[in-house]
Amino acid sequence: MKILILPGDGIGPEVVAEALKVLRAADRRFGLGLELSEGLLGGAAIDACGKPLPDETLAKARAAEAILLGAVGGPKWDNIERALRPEKGLLAIRAELGLFGNLRPAILYPQLAGASALKAEVVAGLDILIVRELTGGIYFGEPRGIRTLENGERQGFNTDIYSESEIRRIGRVAFEAARKRGRRLCSVDKANVLEVTVLWREVMTELAAEYPDVELSHMYVDNAAMQLVRAPKQFDVVVTGNLFGDILSDAAAMLTGSIGMLPSASLDVNGKGMYEPVHGSAPDIAGQGKANPLATVLSAAMMLRYSFGKAEVADAIERAVGTVLDAGLRTGDIMTPGCRQVDTASMGDALCEALLAG
Ligand code: NAD
């Protein structure tokens, strides 16, 4: 397993260190044959070589079978030229590797039901997967810009655009994912208003004929936003475009209580992927041992499941997370009365122990 590790900035290196501990423990138990290399991305890369995505990192990323990323960015780099900001490195590596399929599970561990902003009975046992198209739609569509009209008024404009092949390839990712789960897929669009999503709906419906074992439904995005907070457990897999997916996946994230628990995957057409926690570099807690490493550990589990087909190892890591939560261990972000607060490294150690015992 050739894996490139990109620790990044802020709490990135701290949480990645714990995920590596867990991967090495999994290697000891299951004999994975890990081949790890490390690279610079984001602020760390700017400091070392003046740009957020060095050529060397990109070459290593192309050579790897999967990438595990911490997080990038921080106040130190907030005032540099826009094109050289740490986040540009992240966008560039996603685009260069063609990582169009973003998988964001929102799983609420029953032990953390009290940490959600919603009532425990609405979210207990929640397990949904949002599949977001990541390299197309209105975030990339041309023409775009801000222009001045003849009357002197300024006008901002963007273009929401999807070709049939782009819709079909993200549709396939979603149908395949649904097949491995509850076999229900909800495609979210705004087909009552936007032609681009009329096509989206048509292509999803055509694809459904190839997946007779998956039940496809459609929902307008405004209703989907409402249903996500009203009765989120009705969903299994949700597939949607870049803009709607950005918003809905953040809403789904909050159902689970802490951003420190949420993993993600971004996949290319061949299943190669970059795996990263949903959270950022959290400069407010960096270097203090307060970061929750579970989102990164769960991202590593997704890597084993989706890029390497090692579902049994991913299951074992996810079970180890359940075991440490059952034991009452909590980092500060998920701490509730009666539990024991631990630091980042102790959480990683406990996970390794649970994994090796399990
Ligand atoms: P953030 O996700 O870094 O932090 C938001 C809040 O959540 C903070 O209070 C932080 O302490 C807390 N938090 C985040 N992760 C945590 C964890 N694992 N454990 C415990 N608490 C955690 O978002 P932000 O503050 O808006 O952004 C900080 C920096 O991160 C910015 O430079 C931003 O551009 C960057 N960022 C990077 C990514 C990425 O690398 N994918 C994503 C989002 C933001």
CATH number at 83 reads: 3.40.718.10
Q: So what's the pLDDT on residue 242?
A: 96
Residue 215, in any domain of the structure: no
171-200 burial, b if ≥16 CB within 10 A, otherwise e? bbbbbbbbeeeeeebbbbbbbeeeebbebb
Distance between Cα 69 and ligand 1 center (Å): 14
Q: Indicate which residue's Cα is closest to atom 6 of ligand 1.
A: 282
Q: Where do the H-state alpha helices sit in the chain?
A: 12-30, 43-49, 55-63, 86-96, 120-123, 164-179, 195-208, 221-230, 242-255, 294-306, 311-326, 344-357
Alpha carbon 197 to chain centroid distance?
Answer: 23
- How crowded is the C-beta side of 22, counted as CA atoms within 13 Å? 35
Residue 80, in any domain of the structure: yes
Full residue range of the structural domain in which residue 48 is found: 1-102+263-358
Residue 7, in any domain of the structure: yes
Q: Is 250 a catalytic residue?
A: yes
Q: Is 233 a catalytic residue?
A: no
Distance between Cα 12 and ligand 1 center (Å): 10
Q: So what's the pLDDT on residue 178?
A: 96
Pocket test for ligand 1, best of 15, 281, 342, 347 (most atoms within 8 A of CB): 281
| CA-8 nearest atom, ligand 1 | 40
Q: So what's the pLDDT on residue 256?
A: 84
Residue 291, in any domain of the structure: yes
Q: So what's the pLDDT on residue 14?
A: 98
d(CA 91, CA 256): 26
d(CA 221, CA 98): 26
Going 257 to 320 to 19 to 176, the CA torsion angle's sign is: negative
Ligand 1 neighbours, Cβ below 6 Å, are 11, 15, 71-74, 87, 90, 259-260, 276, 279-285, 291-292, 295, 333
- Count: domains in the chain: 1
d(CA 329, CA 112): 11
Q: So what's the pLDDT on residue 82?
A: 82
Q: So what's the pLDDT on residue 324?
A: 97
Q: So what's the pLDDT on residue 258?
A: 79
Are residues 200 and 164 in contact, defined by beta-carbon separation less than 8 angstroms? no
d(CA 41, CA 140): 22
Q: Is 246 a catalytic residue?
A: yes
pTM higher than the cut 0.85: yes
The tens place of each residue's pLDDT in the chain, 358 residues long, gives: 999 999 999 999 999 999 999 999 999 999 999 999 999 999 999 999 999 999 999 999 999 999 999 999 999 999 999 889 999 999 899 989 999 999 999 999 888 888 788 898 899 889 999 999 999 999 999 999 999 999 999 999 999 999 999 999 999 999 999 998 999 999 999 999 999 999 999 999 999 999 999 999 999 999 999 999 999 999 999 999 999 999 999 888 888 877 899 999 999 988 899 999 999 999 999 999 999 999 999 999 999 998 999 999 999 999 999 999 999 999 999 998 899 999 999 999 999 999 999 7
The one catalytic residue among 78, 222, 284, 326: 222
Residue 277, in any domain of the structure: yes
The one catalytic residue among 27, 51, 76, 250: 250
C-alpha distances (whole Å) from 192 to each of 21, 74, 130, 197 are 49, 41, 22, 8
Q: So what's the pLDDT on residue 72?
A: 97
Distance between Cα 31 and ligand 1 center (Å): 33
d(CA 267, CA 295): 18
Residue 9, in any domain of the structure: yes
Residue 110 DSSP class: G
Contacts of 197 (CB under 8 A, 6+ apart): 189, 190, 191, 241
Residue 205, in any domain of the structure: no
Residue 247, in any domain of the structure: no
